[in-house]
């Protein structure tokens, strides 16, 4: 809706001050859009892709050539600009996708899962590029991602969406601070028959909150994980519950997601959650 590709059923949406229903063309000129699936022409060179995109937006002559040269330098593919895109690496193609969205100097850039399919090294490099672009191009970037680490790394403000609803929003630090205490996860040796007992035992520990069972894992939140672990293990041993392992961690965005949606992010992301 915000990129004007579909019409809202109701309500009003403004992008860069433009109503997306009443003035969609104004909104389109104010935004850049980088879809999840690459939109580059694989049989053209990087430069040819950018020149065509610029002409579509009405740029011509020396101004267009200068803009293309600047973008090729900005995204780091100037040396490959005369090569056919089908020979580019995945990371280079994504950089070119982003450059296509920047040709007309938008004030808002929409990035739809820009690092999907990239290897960890290319993904980390793309994070650096996105942060640099936001600063150098004076951009507001709205990024959608299935990588919580990416949201934590890049966002000034984030919203967690689950099943079509925004369940919480704020800065990553604000959301993590809202989960007071540390997470303790106890992995049971065998969940048959002992899981319910383990949950009850852990939940009786002083200060334990939000105790839950996820398969063979009992999760609870306590004020100090390192201090709580020996006592929790002692209680479980007294109850004849066999433990395979135990870990503690400070709040993460995964914990925030679980807290506000009641589901593990990995399960929700793959559609396996109830």
123 Cβ neighbours under 8 A, 6+ residues apart: 115, 147, 150
For the chain, helix (H) and strand (E) counts, in that order, are 11, 11
Spatial distance between the Cα atoms of 98 and 139, rounded to a whole number of angstroms = 12
DSSP character at residue 14 = E
Residue 265 clears pLDDT 90, i.e. is over it: no
pLDDT at 191: 63
Per residue in 11-23, pLDDT tens?
999 999 999 999 9
Q: Sign (positive/negative) of CA torsion 154, 158, 159, 160?
A: positive
Spatial distance between the Cα atoms of 223 and 246, rounded to a whole number of angstroms = 16
Give the CA angle between residues 72, 76, 78 to the nearest 5°: 45
Burial 141-153 (b: 16+ CB within 10 A, else e): bbbebebbebbbb
Task: State how far Cα 97 lies from the chain centre.
Answer: 18
Identify the residue whose tokens are 């403004």. 14
Provide DSSP, 197-252. HHHHHHHTSTT-EEEEEETTEEEEEES-HHHHHHHHHHHHHHTT--EEEEEEE---
The domain ranges of the chain are: 14-144, 180-250
Per residue in 170-197, pLDDT tens?
999 999 888 878 989 999 987 666 788 8
Topology annotation, domain 14-144? Rossmann fold (3.40.50)
Residue 147 clears pLDDT 60, i.e. is over it: yes
Per residue in 68-123, pLDDT tens?
999 999 888 999 999 999 999 988 999 999 999 999 999 999 999 988 888 888 88
Topology annotation, domain 180-250? Alpha-Beta Plaits (3.30.70)
Q: Sign (positive/negative) of CA torsion 178, 184, 187, 192?
A: negative
Pair 55, 96: CB distance under 8 Å:
no
Residue 240 backbone phi and psi in degrees, to 5: 60, 35
Pair 237, 189: CB distance under 8 Å:
no
Per residue in 28-63, pLDDT tens?
999 999 998 888 999 999 999 999 999 999 999 999
What is the percent of the chain with per-residue pLDDT over 90, rounded to a whole number? 64
Per residue in 206-248, pLDDT tens?
999 889 988 889 999 999 999 999 999 999 999 999 999 999 9
């Amino acid at each position: 809706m915000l990129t004007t590709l579909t019409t809202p059923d109701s309500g009003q949406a403004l992008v860069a001050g433009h109503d997306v229903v009443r003035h969609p063309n104004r909104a389109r000129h104010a935004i850049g859009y980088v879809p999840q699936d690459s939109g580059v022409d694989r049989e053209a060179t990087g430069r040819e892709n950018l020149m065509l995109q610029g002409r579509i937006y009405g740029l011509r002559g020396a101004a267009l050539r200068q803009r293309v040269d600047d973008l090729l330098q900005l995204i780091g593919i100037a040396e490959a600009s005369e090569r056919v895109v089908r020979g580019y690496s995945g990371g280079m193609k994504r950089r070119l996708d982003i450059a296509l969205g920047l040709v007309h100097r938008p004030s808002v850039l929409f990035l739809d899962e820009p690092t999907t399919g990239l290897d960890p090294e290319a993904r980390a490099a793309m994070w650096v590029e996105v942060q640099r672009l936001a600063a150098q191009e004076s951009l507001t970037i709205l990024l959608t991602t299935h990588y919580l680490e990416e949201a934590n790394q890049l966002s000034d403000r984030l919203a967690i969406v689950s099943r079509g609803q925004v369940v919480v929003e704020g800065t990553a630090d604000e959301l993590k601070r809202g989960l007071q205490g540390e997470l303790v996860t106890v992995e049971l040796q065998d969940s048959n028959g002992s899981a319910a007992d383990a949950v009850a035992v852990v939940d009786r520990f002083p200060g334990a909150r939000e105790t839950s069972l996820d398969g063979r894992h009992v999760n609870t939140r306590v004020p100090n994980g390192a201090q709580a672990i020996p006592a929790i293990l002692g209680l479980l041993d007294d109850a004849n519950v066999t433990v395979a392992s135990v870990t503690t961690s400070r709040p993460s965005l995964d914990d925030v997601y679980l807290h506000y949606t009641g589901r593990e992010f990995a399960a929700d992301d793959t559609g396996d959650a109830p």
